[in-house]
Amino acid sequence: MNDAPVRPPTKHQLAAMIWLAVFPTLTTLNLALGPWLAHLGPVLRTFVLATVAVPIVMYGLMPRLHRLRARLLARRA
């Protein structure tokens, strides 16, 4: 197994990884929390969703996507 460090993602790869993490997270949160947040204004609703989504994306999904990318690149090599 190659233990060489993987190069950081390009801007385009990182943008795709962020999209892959953010879109399903926000969709799921909107479906799950939408009825409870319906009475809030759009700014407050967005604030609540972002407050919940950002930690999920940054601490839960992005590390997994980085590991997946590293495995895919190692498989290519």
Domain range annotation of the chain: 41-77
pLDDT at 72: 93
Query: Which secondary-structure segment (H or E) carries 28?
Result: helix 11-37
Contact status, residue 19 vs residue 62, Cβ threshold 8 Å: no
Residue pair 65/21 in contact (Cβ under 8 Å)? The answer is yes
- What parts of the chain have a pLDDT lower than 70? 1-3
Cα 31 from Cα 53, distance rounded (Å) = 13
The DSSP code for 6 is P
pLDDT of amino acid 3: 65
pTM, to two decimals? 0.86
